[in-house]
C-alpha cells in the first residue's frame, strides 16, 4: 500500500535539511528561505510583506526561540526549531493547508 500523501505537483516539498543546507523539491539552498504555495524565496528575517498564507511557521534555528511579543501580536505564528518547522510544513501541506514557513538555517 502506498502511503505517500497526494499534493499538488506545484507545491514545494522540503526534502531534507542538514548542515545548513535545505533541499526543496530537488533544489539546494544554503541560506535562510521562505517556502510556500508561491515557491521558495530568500528570507531576510523580516515578517513584513509576507506572501498570503493561512498558517505561518517560523524555524528559529537549532532551538526554539520565540519572537518578541510585539512581532507575535502583529503576525500570528508558530515558532519552533528549524528541523521541526520543516517536518510540520510537510505535514500541513499534505493536509491541503496554505502554509508559509520561514526557515533560519544553522550549522
pLDDT value for 28: 98
- Asked if 11 contacts 37 with a C-beta cutoff of 8 angstroms, the reply is yes
Q: Please give the CATH topology (third level) of the domain spanning 14-103.
A: Hypothetical Protein Mth938; Chain: A, (3.40.1230)
Q: Report d(CA 58, CA 104) in Å as an integer.
A: 8
| Beta sheet of 14-18, edge-to-edge order | 14-18, 21-24, 27-29
Q: What is the pLDDT along the chain (107 residues), one digit of tens a residue?
A: 555 567 777 899 999 999 999 999 999 999 999 999 889 999 999 998 899 899 999 999 999 999 888 888 888 999 999 999 999 999 999 888 899 999 999 97
The kind and range of the H/E element at 95 are none
What are the residue ranges spanned by the domains of the chain?
A: 14-103
How far apart, in whole angstroms, are the C-alpha atoms of residue 92 and residue 77?
14
Amino acid at each position: 500500500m502506498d502511503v505517500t500523501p497526494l499534493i499538488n505537483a506545484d507545491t514545494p516539498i522540503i526534502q531534507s535539511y542538514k548542515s545548513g543546507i535545505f533541499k526543496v523539491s530537488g533544489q539546494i539552498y544554503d541560506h535562510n528561505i521562505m517556502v510556500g504555495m508561491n515557491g521558495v524565496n530568500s528570507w531576510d528575517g523580516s515578517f513584513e510583506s509576507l506572501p498570503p498564507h493561512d498558517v505561518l511557521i517560523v524555524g528559529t534555528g537549532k532551538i526554539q526561540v520565540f519572537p518578541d511579543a510585539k512581532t507575535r501580536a502583529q503576525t500570528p505564528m508558530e515558532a519552533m526549531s528549524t528541523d521541526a518547522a520543516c517536518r510540520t510544513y510537510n505535514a500541513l501541506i499534505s493536509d491541503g493547508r496554505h502554509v508559509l514557513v520561514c526557515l533560519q538555517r544553522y550549522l
